[in-house]
Structure 1
Amino acid sequence: MILDQRIAVVTGASSGIGAATARLLASRGAKVALLARRTDRLDALADEIVAAGGDALAVAADTTDPITLAAAAERIGATYGAADLIVNNAGVMLPSAIQARNTTDWRREVDVNVSGVLNVIDAFLPGLLEAAASGRPADLVNMSSMTSHVVFPYMAVYNATKAAVSHLSRTMRTELGPQGVRVTVVEPAMTATELQGHVVDEGINAWVAQAREAFTWLDPNDVAEVVAFTTSRPAHVTLSQVVVYPTRQA
């Protein structure tokens, strides 16, 4: 699973699945651009990767802002060249009962989980097409969730945003696959990340705590391994959809 000569971009790289994926891709030989808003965490992760012998570039960017993403793509291109491996990972989860009408949270989830995903695609798709046209591997990995096809209460808007990402990915593959760009959607189930820390509802937090006790959750490194495996396949092989569950999660 060597990724030498690959130029990767990982969004949401300041924590969780994004940070784990960035570390692993760098350890497999990729040059990795780390994108997120928290520059202190990005700088620390870049230093960690470089100290371990990898190559990383910290780039502050907000996926909901196309201007910062365009600037990020330009900086990455000037430093490494056009990126050929995009891990579209940034996301938020703000569960609440639908009758609570937390419209600010609804808009935030749509902005980050849907519009942000599209903004990343807009910024980096030209590089993917360039890589594929030159005969290099080209990968777009969109991070969704098993909630895209499994119903959970109090997560209607989050579930809907992830369903949008999954269906977007499946449809994009029909357009981009014939041009040599592989499109993969990864759908993790319960994974121990910062997302759970965004929950403020006491009832939902109690359910989360119970679930933590009931079975062993995925670690971000488990999901990172899936991304590394998928993107290191021969160029003619695409894993279009990967659902990752903890073994004991029903």
Structure 2
Amino acid sequence: MEPTASPGPHRVAVVTGAASGIGLACARLLVARGDAVAMLDRDGRALRYAATDLARNASEQVVWAEVDVSDAFSLREARDNLAARLSAPIDAVIAGAGTMSGGSFAHSVPGEWSEMIDANLTGMLHTSQTFLRDLCVAAESDERSDLVLVGAIAGRSGFPRFAVYSAVEAAVGQLARTLRVELGPQGVRVHQVQPGATATRLGSTMSDRSARKEWQSLRHQVPPVDPADVAAAIMFGLDQPPHVTVTDMVVLPTLQDAVLPGVQGTPTRERPRWSLR
């Protein structure tokens, strides 16, 4: 009798920013579903710990590579290495690497802008381009093929003291919209998720003390979304039939709109600084 062939993984997904936050939450859900996962992050120590922990109970492959997504050459090398180690072709990419800096525009540090632009936008561009061939091959096989860009609500709303961060995230949104037009005819679905306040480390290392305190104050006023809830929204998009794309997903804490002022840039006596919508 011929041995029964393994059915293989349901999906084979690449996740950047996978050592923590939304990226790690996505990797956990993918593994729990029986998907194969390639985890990428520049924090090698945290990545090895997270990936090793997930691999213990995984029914499919969990592989990882330490890489800075803003370095196109290193990312290409990582892609080739991961593709050789995976038992099936890549058909989903979740671009979740990113950072955040804030402060008044007049006094913020241009060097921090560059670091944030490199991670949040340049890294997103490199990730999308590096794995595009894999996604197109998957789409040619009439399989689901997905590119997920993890942005932020700041990309669509006024975010005082975070002007550059907001501008970068707005660029991510425009990238998603334009790639959707360009890649849709090839069968590649492009999704964007824009979380509000989320229980991650994002913003915890901002050098501007006032911006950091305001961010922490917001998180105390508004119970943040769990990264697993954002990851669940992403899984919903991945699970749609090939002819359906969940284009933009805004995932906010229930209290966020209630706590923050309703008119952009208009302070109130109770809330003199914050205004997101």
Structure 1 residue 36, shift from structure 2 partner: 0.6
Query: Which residue pairs with 1:108 in the alignment?
Result: 115
1:56 to 47, 52, 62: 62
Query: Which residue pairs with 2:219 in the alignment?
Result: 212
Query: Which residue pairs with 2:194 in the alignment?
Result: 187
Query: Which residue pairs with 1:32 in the alignment?
Result: 37
Query: Which residue pairs with 1:240 in the alignment?
Result: 247
Asked whether the equivalents of residues 4 and 28 of structure 1 are also in contact (C-alpha less than 8 Å), the reply is no
Moved more, 33-42 or 74-83: 74-83
Query: Which residue pairs with 2:25 in the alignment?
Result: 20
Hey, what's the Cα distance between the residues in 1 that align with 2:43 and 2:216?
27
Hey, what's the Cα distance between the residues in 2 that align with 1:60 and 1:98?
33
User: What per-residue deviation string (whole Å, max 9, x for no partner) do you get for residues 71-129 of structure 1?
Assistant: 11101211114311000110110112111141101111111111111101111000000
Query: Once superposed, what is the RMSD of the aligned Cα atoms?
Result: 1.4
Moved more, 41-50 or 124-133: 41-50
Query: Which residue pairs with 2:4 in the alignment?
Result: none
Query: Which residue pairs with 1:76 in the alignment?
Result: 82
Hey, what's the Cα distance between the residues in 2 that align with 1:69 and 1:193?
24
Hey, what's the Cα distance between the residues in 1 that align with 2:13 and 2:45?
20
Query: Which residue pairs with 1:6 in the alignment?
Result: 11
Asked whether the equivalents of residues 102 and 108 of structure 2 are also in contact (C-alpha less than 8 Å), the reply is no
1:157 to 145, 152, 164: 164
Unaligned stretches of 5+ in structure 2? Answer: 1-7, 258-277
Asked whether the equivalents of residues 22 and 34 of structure 1 are also in contact (C-alpha less than 8 Å), the reply is yes
SS of the residue corresponding to residue 256 of structure 2 reads: coil
- TM (normalized to structure 1)? 0.95
Structure 1 residue 172, shift from structure 2 partner: 0.7
Hey, what's the Cα distance between the residues in 1 that align with 2:240 and 2:81?
28
User: What per-residue deviation string (whole Å, max 9, x for no partner) do you get for residues 171-194 of structure 1?
Assistant: 111111111100000000001111
1:66 to 72, 86, 93: 72
| Ranges of 4+ aligned residues in structure 1 off by more than 3 Å | none
Query: Which residue pairs with 2:52 in the alignment?
Result: 47
SS of the residue corresponding to residue 184 of structure 2 reads: helix
Structure 1 residue 211, shift from structure 2 partner: 1.6
Unaligned stretches of 5+ in structure 1? Answer: none
More helix by proportion, 1 or 2? Answer: 1
1:224 to 219, 231, 242: 231
The amino acid that maps onto 1:43 is R
Asked whether the equivalents of residues 9 and 85 of structure 1 are also in contact (C-alpha less than 8 Å), the reply is yes
Q: Which has the higher contact order (CA 8 A, sep 6+)?
A: 1
Hey, what's the Cα distance between the residues in 2 that align with 1:215 and 1:107?
29
Instruction: Report the count of equivalent residues.
Output: 248
Query: Which residue pairs with 2:100 in the alignment?
Result: 93
Asked whether the equivalents of residues 76 and 82 of structure 1 are also in contact (C-alpha less than 8 Å), the reply is no
Asked whether the equivalents of residues 76 and 83 of structure 1 are also in contact (C-alpha less than 8 Å), the reply is no
The amino acid that maps onto 1:178 is P
The amino acid that maps onto 2:100 is M
SS of the residue corresponding to residue 31 of structure 2 reads: helix
Structure 1 residue 28, shift from structure 2 partner: 0.9
User: What per-residue deviation string (whole Å, max 9, x for no partner) do you get for residues 147-167 of structure 1?
Assistant: 011111111111111000001
1:121 and 2:123 matched: no
Asked whether the equivalents of residues 64 and 82 of structure 2 are also in contact (C-alpha less than 8 Å), the reply is no
Hey, what's the Cα distance between the residues in 1 that align with 2:89 and 2:195?
28
